[in-house]
Amino acid sequence: MGIEWLKPGVFFGSMLYALIGVAVFWVCFLIVDKLTPYDLWSELVEKRNTALAIVVGAMCLAIGLIVAAAIHG
């Protein structure tokens, strides 16, 4: 493979896709947060709702996989 990934075009393309992926993930998370009937941050941090933390973690993994698959093609 060599050092082809260090070429400026490849490197900046990877950075661009990473930023796009993070932005899409964040937008999806905000949409899910707005769809839930309660404040996720309050439930997770203040009330320490472990079950909700597991569900939100699984949701984050699922959205991440979908975004990665969409970017990868």
- Per-residue pLDDT 10s for the chain (73 aa) are 567 767 888 888 888 888 888 898 889 888 988 998 888 888 889 999 999 899 889 988 998 898 888 877 6
Q: Is 47 helix (H, G, I), strand (E, B) or coil?
A: coil
Which one-letter amino acid corresponds to residue 43? E
Domain count, the chain: 1
Q: Both tokens of residue 38?
A: 């309660």
Domain that holds residue 39: 24-72
What pLDDT shows up at residue 58?
93
SS3 content of the chain, % helix, strand, coil (to 5): 85, 0, 15
The pTM of the full predicted model, rounded to 2 decimals, is 0.70
What pLDDT shows up at residue 5?
65
Q: Both tokens of residue 28?
A: 């999806």
Whether 8 is covered by a domain: the verdict is no
DSSP H or E segment with residue 11: helix 8-35
Dist. CA 16–CA 23, nearest whole Å: 11
